Amino acid sequence: MKSGNQAFSKHFALYLAVTLIAGLALAACKPKVTETPAPTEITGYPTIENPVVSTPAQPGNNQTTSATLVPISQGNSSAINAGLIILSMSDGAYKHLFAYHPSYLAVTRLTADAWDDDSPAISPDGNKIAFTSNRFGTREIYILDLVTNTLTQMTNSSAFEGTIDWSPDGSYIVYDVYQNEHFDLIIQSVTDQTEAPIQLTDGTTNNFQPSWSPDGSELAFVSDRSGRNSIWLARLQNPEERFIEVIGSSDADFDHPVWSPDGTRLAVNRHQFRSEILLVQPHDPTLEPSVLGNGDNPVWMPDGSGVLATINLPNETEILAYSVGDHHLMLPPIPMTGSVSAYDWNSANLVQNIQLWVSKNALVQPAPLWVDTSNLPVNASGRRSLVDLPEVSAPQAKLSDAVDDSFIAMRNLVSQRIGWDLLATLDNAVIPPTAAPMPGIPENWLYTGRAIGLNLAPYEAGWMVVTREEFAGNLYWRVWVRCKNQDGTCGEPLKTPIWDFQSRSSGEALAYENGGAYKLPPAGYWVDFTDLANRFGWQRMPALNNWRSYFQGTQFNVFALQQNLTWQQAMLEIYPPEQVELLTGVTNEK
């Protein structure tokens, strides 16, 4: 936890740091250009009785209700000291904020409206939550005061605001903002609305994911100025040598730095063959980083004894925690109901404040994304039928009646989000069993009527890119689709290097052998198609072992709605056993 006996020195350090930045007019620090410092108080924020504590909206019509908030008495100091996790998670068509603790509090809804709320950051005293929201079109920063039940808009521009962190005394926030086709870091006062924001970085490279040190003198952040994402420090009291690199590599990417409560260590992500969490001593380069364990997005526990992380599986997210003492699991993996994009963990007054806030605000659970309404009855043999997909161009524009409603709903939401109809044209919907099999894909889900192959034309035109992700030795791809309108009202800028399949034909031997190469993400705004598809149950496929030399083996454009069926079961849903036997050459034994 942050040391209380250094409050004055921390405040003075922060004041001195900001004064140095503003007064010295360094080339790397100048007033923000595109951001308009116009904080406004939003009136009419709902204060409704009869709180409802519920789990996030599920696909289809299966909604459930979780346990209500555990009452916190004055004597229950363990729960108060443990604090709460505030997280942003996919919830129906949007991302919403939730409070959670694995021991004391079920997943508890904090927002539920028809927009995305993301990147929560808890103030040091636990009284406020800063977060981003696109409720008025572009993504801006808001601060929710849990005590007064008011919401304040902190930014107002066409730029995209991302990761947020608080100064140790709660007087400032630092955040990354996407402007002029790259990310920069901004410091802004929370207490003085007349104080102009200060732009800390100013270059042609990306600088993002800031984390403020507990003594207020430094900011850790991510920069790609060396060609790959690496961790840097901004030393606010050192104008002669402001920026220094902490850790980087030519064959790995680092991100999500976060300071330990005592300010001696950073927990960071390293992405190489897998995602790992490292503990780094930024002020002693002679000490080698230690691997804490597998995971992403580290956040320190309030008492500094452990680090919370996510395990991003191919099609779901789990949270866990590691002990920093012996690197053992403190918290076993817990599956979450949606994809978790960001979170923060703090104690102070947060438990009581959340309890008070929840008691005054009732939120309606979002409606299901789709409802399965069979167009055709199951026939006498008990098999499903293939149905036509309206206004879809594909060699066989049909899917199983079990999944067509989900596909139509997914197509509508994707079109709404990106501004163009990506799913109007498919490389494949169902492949008839009489078609020649694709080499090396013995159990091809496209035969089942439960899978689609995205049209590859957008990828070839640069309107679709992929990022590479590995899980337990299996390789998957995350598909990003470019927004039609590049005005900040759609999608988000990419921070992760993309994988370039086309570089395999560039003449470079290494790119040819590796099946492609990493390159810096393209500019602009992109939508995570993989995440949207997963909300409807459509899951991505792993790459085959031959993907480096066989492009179809990448399977990056194939998504299937399996619903816990094996490939054999899915085939038998629509085809008789003898038809499946002809395709596989394996006799189906009952």
- Residue 131, classed as helix, strand or coil, is strand
Task: State how far the alpha carbon of 150 is from the alpha carbons of 49, 129, 146, 255, in Å.
Answer: 16, 11, 7, 33
Query: Is residue 377 included in any domain, yes or no?
Result: no
Instruction: State the DSSP code for 429.
Output: S
Please give the full DSSP string across 21-53, using - where no structure is assigned. Answer: HHHHT-TT-EE-SS-----EEEP-----SS---
Domain endpoint, select from 360, 394, 427: 360
> Are 337 and 401 found together in one domain?
no
In a domain, 307, yes or no: yes
Same domain, 355 and 403: no
Is 537 contained in some domain? yes
* Model confidence, pTM: 0.86
Do residues 50 and 153 both lie within one domain? yes
Q: For residue 205, what are the domain limits?
A: 4-58+66-360
Both tokens assigned to 381: 């043999």
Q: Which residue has the higher pLDDT, 31 or 294?
A: 294
Output 126-130 pairs: Cβ under 8 A, ≥24 positions apart: 126/83, 126/346, 126/347, 126/348, 126/349, 126/350, 126/351, 126/353, 127/348, 127/349, 127/353, 128/170, 129/86, 129/97, 130/154, 130/164, 130/166, 130/173
- Per-residue pLDDT, averaged over 49-55, amounts to 34
Looking at the fold, whether 35 and 176 belong to one and the same domain comes out as yes
Position 57 scores a pLDDT of 64
Number of domains observed in the structure of the chain: 2
Question: Looking at the predicted structure, is the pLDDT value of residue 486 above 80?
Answer: yes
Query: What integer is the mean pLDDT of 23-29?
Result: 34
Tell the burial category of 430 from Cβ atoms under 10 Å away from its Cβ (0-12, 13-18, 19+): buried
DSSP state for residue 463 in the 8-state scheme: S
List the one residue out of 207, 205, 210 whose CA is nearest residue 119: 210
pLDDT value at position 58?
57
Confidence of residue 11 (pLDDT cuts 50, 70, 90): very low
What are 174-225's pLDDT values in tens digits? Answer: 999 999 899 999 999 999 988 999 999 987 899 999 999 999 999 999 999 9
Mean pLDDT rounded to a whole number for the chain: 85
Residue 401 lies in a domain: yes
Q: Specify whether 305 is located in the same domain as 406.
A: no
Last residue of a domain, one of 325, 360, 395: 360
SS (H, E, C) 383-419: CCCEEECCCCECCCCEEECCCHHHHHHHHHHHHHHHC
CB 343 within 8 A of CB 321: no
The answer to the question of residue 375 being in a domain is: no
Q: 518-532 pLDDT, tens per residue?
A: 998 999 999 999 999
User: Is the domain of 339 the same as that of 432?
Assistant: no
CA atoms of 109 and 97, how far apart (whole Å) = 6
Residue given tokens 């680092």 in the structure block: 254
327 lies in the same domain as 437: no
Asked whether the predicted pLDDT for residue 227 surpasses 60, the reply is: yes
Residue with tokens 């900001």: 18
Residue 115 maps to a domain: yes
Residue 365 lies inside a defined structural domain of this protein: no
Q: Quick one: pLDDT band at residue 536, thresholds 50, 70, 90?
A: very high
Q: Which two tokens stand for residue 245?
A: 């690199």
Residues 109-142: tens digit of each pLDDT: 999 999 999 999 999 999 999 999 999 999 999 9
| pLDDT score for 24 | 31
pLDDT, greater one: 199 or 587: 199
SS3 514: helix
Query: ∠ CA 297-252-224 to the nearest 5 degrees?
Result: 80
CA distance 310 to 321: 8
Q: What CA–CA distance (Å, rounded) separates 128 from 141?
A: 13
Count each helix (H run) and each strand (E run) in the chain, helices first: 9, 37
- 377 Rama class: left (phi>0) / alpha (psi -120 to 50) / beta: beta
Tokens 């992403």 locate to: 296
**425 and 354 belong to one structural domain:** no
- Provide the pLDDT for residue 590: 47
**Same-domain pairing of 555 and 453:** yes
- pLDDT, one tens digit per residue, over 344-389 is 999 999 999 999 999 988 888 888 999 887 655 566 567 889 999 9
Classify residue 178: in a domain, yes or no.
yes
Q: Quick one: average pLDDT of 60-65?
A: 40
Three-state SS for 372?
coil
Same domain for 203 and 257: yes
- Provide the pLDDT for residue 374: 66
- Between 567-574 and 577-584, two packed helices, what is the crossing angle to 10 degrees? 130
Same domain, 351 and 395: no
Q: Phi first, then psi: what are they for 250, rounded to 5°?
A: -80, -15
Q: Do 123 and 253 fall within a single domain?
A: yes
Give me the CATH number covering residue 46.
2.120.10.30
List, for residues 241-271, the tens digit of each pLDDT value: 899 999 999 889 999 999 999 999 999 999 9
H or E element that contains 3 = none
**Looking at residue 298, what is its pLDDT?**
98
